[in-house]
Structure 1
């Protein structure tokens, strides 16, 4: 075992601390708060067959993510941490099966290293507080891949059914992306390892049948909401088939950007997004990817022990194909991160076994140099941008930093062990600071959070609270524990009665004043779109000039 037990007993709890801190950050506009509110509506109305986005039918992501969040609300009540809990649990599943697949490919010594690489990756940490569908998708995808790989070797019916179960959960969470990722990397694995006999087996047919059985709840829900109601109009079209949408249209629409306002002509988007999404490992990953492909070419793709192409050539092919899509977002990469984690540790293990320790030393020196500077910059930025409210944050940062420095200075360890422990340690330090200091302070400028605090402190009756139509205000509904009614600015003078409340932006507020509406109580709220940060906002001196106003007002 390359990592000591002490390494594991320190790194896993510290990573857990970072993830738990992320559970309690207020929900972030737009998508995370939107999804939380949609799941809350499912729970409050006890309607798990229909998905609504505000007052409209929702036809984009499938049901699983919303079902899991609604179930969590049912068990634990409505809260930010309850919304995030399913994502956190599926991240643990992802770590477990990253460990198992790495151990299956490369031996028991590197399983924990692969799971630590996975858990310390920036996009994975981010996806556990800015929760969308990606954490569930990622855990389900690597669960499926592990069982499919075992099936291809052992031809066990249990593994093929479990593989299709994981695939069905991924499909029920984000549509065909899980099917595509698994299909592409498994095709490379089957081709390289010559596992065609396992593919052309009656057991695969049983697995396929089980897959359609497992996705039948989602298909049924789409049938009830859309296929039974051809009169419904969505994006200007009627006769919408929900079943056809999830089985075909969703993926095709994303490839062509049909129905999406923004398109991306950047064919290198995913390749440069990896540079931040897979921190601190992207450069090692790219080196490993092309080293593995080069080795495969050198040996004319002959299969040999402790070498696979699923995590290198398979991942590269997925990246090349999704790069042709006209609609791209960084979190599409998340389901590849378990495979990239295995690729990184498999490559480093190859260098160790091949007596190429000098290359590991170079990577270690590079990582320590780069992330020492990055850690200082991030911590400085966090405390420069926002004041410290709790001394415990500083104490926590000092403890983590001291442990990391002591390990780097005093610990006599192999370069391999030092590289893994130090890189994970730096990400713990950075993300502890982000999750305890930066994001909680940043969310103060998401005015929906501030409005929610005022609503709670003043015991405002949410049955008499309205949102101005078509502004980002999902967090107000979520923290009000109610799917709030919407009102247009034209309707406010006649529809809003004395004693009722409205949350609205500055232009609408000024217009109502001009039209003679008298507000008895006015709470002005600073607002900034916090998912689009700029240095001018982060600078405390120039921040006031970047803020807009929203208002919580009572007539």
Structure 2
């Protein structure tokens, strides 16, 4: 690919990708994780307590504080809503594109940096995560920024971003950072770097900048050993942060256990990095065969070593891969730029891009959200651009067209009409509009989206004037003769677990559950 060709359309495609993601900032939060994390940040604001984290009405020990601090700060500025929760993560994700560009430019120049940034923004799971916001958009920025400042030898900034990463996910974040640097030094024969004092200063400063997190964990848990956490007392928050939350999960010895498939991330990457995943596999394969060629190995080391650790772990979720997208984007862009015109590579990318365009149109027809025929204009424009972008120099842009078309479908024609079926957020929003703020008790159900959106108090146990429940809970109440008045009835569906019956508009009603708000009578 030639830089002069790519420069012509690069800014426009970057702008189009960002614009296609913006509508997703205004859709409700998905359950469970995004709504749970937003609810934790909500408690920070309501309690005025930035040290202790609470969820489900109890002390919460799982993820570090930084994403919740950022979310709570955004709530103070923009109010308690989904947009305020998503905005700081979205901005961090965009900043991750900037640092992907800077990192690639340092080693390869603009010819690689520009396509790398665009590839990063276009990855499918990046588009999904702009809606379903967890900690990964923050962590992605913090990791690639740390790597960039390390190669620039700006130790204070590298330490600060590394500490931000630690306060977002825990100590494992040192694996992609350190693994990438070690492989780079090893392949360049620059082992003397291990004895340079500045890298040890980096570790020391990183620890110093992480002290706010350690203090909060100590204050909430270590200083109060009588608290019951994970069903037991004497739980150390600091130990959980340093060991159990990361290495305890890896060895499956911590209080939170999981199951794993060693090939999970290998096949997950196939769809998560679309439309560039097949080319990424090829780039990794070629790079492994030609290890002695090139000048940069951080992207290979950070990407593959972390993916290997993930694969050996018992905890495996698709969004874990997002933090590696900057490194994969640089790796792929460098390979594409180094290639001569290759018909097989171009043909592969064009076929994958076309499949995405056609598949989005087919799902649109099947789902039939309000205004669904309008999307055919997007499909027609995407197909026209796909046809025109036929040269090898336009390969990345060809994939970007497919990603933009898909993002517009998801954020305008799909998610806004999918999330009203999420019973918790729909019910809570309706109660708010009715001006109802009585205490609501969850009965045989849990809903973080309800907890986040509802303006009144929510509790899991005890007595309350209102009950929020589903079919099993209502049947249980009926079986013991509970007297109540029905306040509201709403359809419900677990929107993060889609199946064909729900997506198909003609069979959707058969897949729905029901939730109720009941007012108990004395």
Q: Could you tell me the TM-score, scaled by structure 2's length?
A: 0.94
Structure 1 partner of 2:414: 438
Secondary structure in 1 matching 2:210? helix
Map 1:330-341; keep pairs closer than 5 Å: 330-341=318-329
Residues of 1 paired with 2:185 and 2:444: CA distance?
49
After superposition, the C-alpha distances for 1:123-175 in whole angstroms (9 at most, x for unaligned) are: 11222210111110001000001111222xxxxxxx12211211111110011
Secondary structure at the counterpart of residue 388 of structure 1: coil
Tell me, in whole angstroms, the C-alpha distance in 1 between the residues paired with 2:456 and 2:328: 41
> In the alignment, which residue of structure 1 is the partner of 2:307?
319
Decide which of 398, 413, 417 is 2:377's aligned counterpart. 398
Residues 381-460 of structure 1 aligned to structure 2 (within 5 Å): 381-389=363-371, 394=375, 398-399=377-378, 401-402=380-381, 404-410=382-388, 414-416=391-393, 418-460=394-436
Give the match for residue 476 of structure 1.
Answer: 450
Alignment-derived partner of residue 154 in structure 1: none
Unaligned runs of 5+ in 2: none
Q: Tell me the CA shift for residue 470 of structure 1.
A: 5.7
1:22-61 residue pairs with structure 2 within 5 A? 22-61=24-63
Deviation at 1:511, TM superposition (A): 2.2
Residues 261, 481 of structure 1: alpha-carbon distance in 2 compared, 3 angstrom cutoff: farther
State the Cα distance separating 1:460 from its structure 2 match: 0.9
Equivalence map 1:68-467=2 (5 Å):
68-151=70-153, 159-257=154-252, 258-260=254-256, 262-264=258-260, 266-296=261-291, 301=292, 306-351=294-339, 356-357=340-341, 359=342, 361-389=343-371, 394=375, 398-399=377-378, 401-402=380-381, 404-410=382-388, 414-416=391-393, 418-461=394-437, 464-467=438-441
**C-alpha distance in structure 1 between counterparts of 2:37 and 2:178, whole Å:** 28
Aligned residue number for residue 529 of structure 1 = 494
CA distance in 2, matches of 1:61, 1:504: 28
For residues 175 and 124 of structure 2, the distance between their equivalents in structure 1, rounded to whole angstroms, comes to 24
In the other structure, the counterpart of 1:155 is: none
Contact conserved, 2:365 with 2:372, CA < 8 A, in 1? no
Whether the 8 Å CA contact 2:222–2:236 is kept in 1: the answer is yes
Assess if the C-alpha contact under 8 Å between 2:440 and 2:467 holds in 1.
yes
Q: Secondary structure at the match of 1:384?
A: helix
SS in 1 for 2:173: helix
Per-residue deviation, 1:284: 0.8
CA offsets per residue over residues 170-222 of structure 1, 9 Å max, x none?
A: 11001123111111111111211233333322222322221112101100100
* Cα contact 1:2–1:110 (8 A) shared by 2: no
Residues 122 and 276, structure 1, Cα contact 8 Å, conserved in 2? yes
Q: How many residues align?
A: 517
**Post-superposition shift, 1:401?**
4.2
Whole-angstrom CA distance in 2 between matches of 1:409 and 1:32: 38
Contact 2:440/2:456 (<8 A) preserved: no
CA deviations 1:419-445 (Å, max 9, x no partner) are 111101111001110111111111121
> What is residue 18 of structure 1 aligned with on the other side?
20
Supply the distance in 1 between the matched residues of 2:503 and 2:453 (Cα, whole angstroms).
Answer: 26
- Structure 1 match to 2:477: 512
Superposition deviation, residue 4 in structure 1: 4.5
* Larger CA deviation: 500-509 vs 269-278: 500-509
CA contact (8 A) 1:222 1:242 kept: yes
> RMSD of aligned C-alpha atoms?
2.0
8 Å contact kept, 1:185–1:311: yes
Relative to structure 1, the CA distance from residue 261 to residue 320 in structure 2 (aligned partners, 3 Å threshold; closer, same or farther) is closer
How far 1:5 sits from its partner (Å)? Answer: 4.6
1:197-253 CA distance string (max 9 Å, x none): 333222223222211121011001001001100111222332222112111221122
1:256 deviation in Å?
2.6
Aligned partners of 2:364 and 2:372 also within 8 Å: no
In 2, distance between residues paired with 1:219 and 1:279? Answer: 38
Note the C-alpha offset of 1:29.
0.6
Q: Please tell me whether the aligned partners of residues 117 and 341 of structure 1 are also in contact (alpha carbons under 8 angstroms).
A: yes
| 1:485 positional shift | 2.1
The verdict on how the C-alpha distance between 1:525 and 1:531 changes in structure 2, with shifts beyond 3 A counting, is same
Q: Matched residues in 1 for 2:17 and 2:379: separation?
A: 11
CA apart distance, 1:504: 1.1
1:98-124, Cα deviation, whole Å (9 max, x unpaired): 001111111122212111000001111
Contact 2:354 2:386 in 1 (8 A): no
In structure 1, the residue corresponding to 2:290 is in which secondary structure? helix
CA distance in 1, matches of 2:128, 2:141: 15
- The 1:2–1:469 alpha-carbon spacing in structure 2 relative to 1, beyond 3 Å, is farther
- Contact 1:29-1:472 at 8 Å conserved across structures: no
TM-score of the pair, normalised by structure 1: 0.89
How many Å separate the matches in 2 of 1:101 and 1:502?
A: 53
SS state of the match for residue 279, structure 1?
Answer: coil
Secondary structure of the 1:131 match is: coil
